[in-house]
Amino acid sequence: MINLIFQTANSAIEKATQIVMEAHNLPKITEYKGKTNLVTKTDHQSEEIIISEILNVFPKHGIIAEESGSINTGSEYQWIVDPLDGTTNFVHGYPSFGISIGILHNDEIVCGIVKELPANHTYSAIKGKGAFCDGKPIHVSDVNSLSESLLVTGFGYEHGEKWSANMKLFKQFTDITQGVRRLGAAAVDLCHVACGNVEGYWEFDIKSWDTAAGVIIVKEAGGIITKMDGSNYSINNPQILATNGKIHNEMLKITSSIIKNISV
């Protein structure tokens, strides 16, 4: 079953990639979910082809997709789909966006694929079988101190107390590390932890489709994922801390102290 699931997810993501990249250099037809949260015609087309591919092979499986919502069939299998992660980057031609598909079995993530675009890298993992980029095994970095680490984060659209807390984290981590990047595509950020490009990633205000695939890729690459206070993470949590494992406790000391007085 898992091999067919993986094949189907890979086929769906490749077909969606074709749609996204064909639209990459064309004028964008956009609308807004909120003041700055864009959605495009391409998001919808990508999601439609992914859902079609899934249901063609697994018509009884459940699906949660960013744009169209949930298909709840009561199945023990559930697909979590982000048809275009980093839509704002895509609209502006900034080279950091992607497509993400994660698969749950009885609420446990068992498979994930992320396509990083326009770089055209495919990150993947099946539970217990390791993590890969373009078919080659990947592993988190061996850096073991924050002072030698490069980090990545993201900022939500709402400028409330969590946004303010993240600005404090951004400043503090920038002061004590090699730097902090903000690329704007959560699934891609997680994959950069998995392949050792960065040592850690944190973010508030994320959704299940942002992280479902990336989480298993990080874990299978040897990384650690928790909430920012060190408690267990699930894809339904709105905040995350993912690291190579070696700097996790150092990061936790800082994240947990800054978020302790806010509702997360």
Q: What is the pLDDT of residue 167?
A: 94
The residues, ordered by sequence, that sit 6+ positions from 159 with a Cβ below 8 Å of its Cβ are none
**Does domain 2-137 fall into CATH 3.40.30.10?**
no
Find out whether 149 and 178 touch, Cβ atoms under 8 Å.
yes
Number of alpha helices (DSSP H) and beta strands (DSSP E) in the chain: 7, 15
CATH architecture of 146-259: 3-Layer(aba) Sandwich (3.40)
What SS3 class is residue 124?
strand
Domain residues of the chain, as ranges? 2-137, 146-259
SS3 label, residue 139: coil
Q: Which residues of 245-262 are buried (b: 16+ CB within 10 A; e: fewer)?
A: bbbbebbbebbbeebeee
Q: How far apart are CA 193 and CA 170, in angstroms?
A: 17
* pTM of this structure: 0.94
Query: In 3-state terms, what secondary structure has residue 87?
Result: helix
Q: Encode the chain (264 residues) as per-residue pLDDT tens digits.
A: 899 999 999 999 999 999 999 988 776 655 655 544 556 788 889 999 999 999 999 999 999 998 888 888 889 999 999 999 998 899 888 999 999 999 999 999 999 999 999 999 999 999 999 999 999 999 999 999 999 999 999 987 777 888 899 999 999 999 999 999 999 999 999 999 999 999 999 999 999 999 999 999 999 999 999 999 999 999 999 999 999 999 999 999 999 999 886 766
Return the residue matching tokens 């864009």. 38
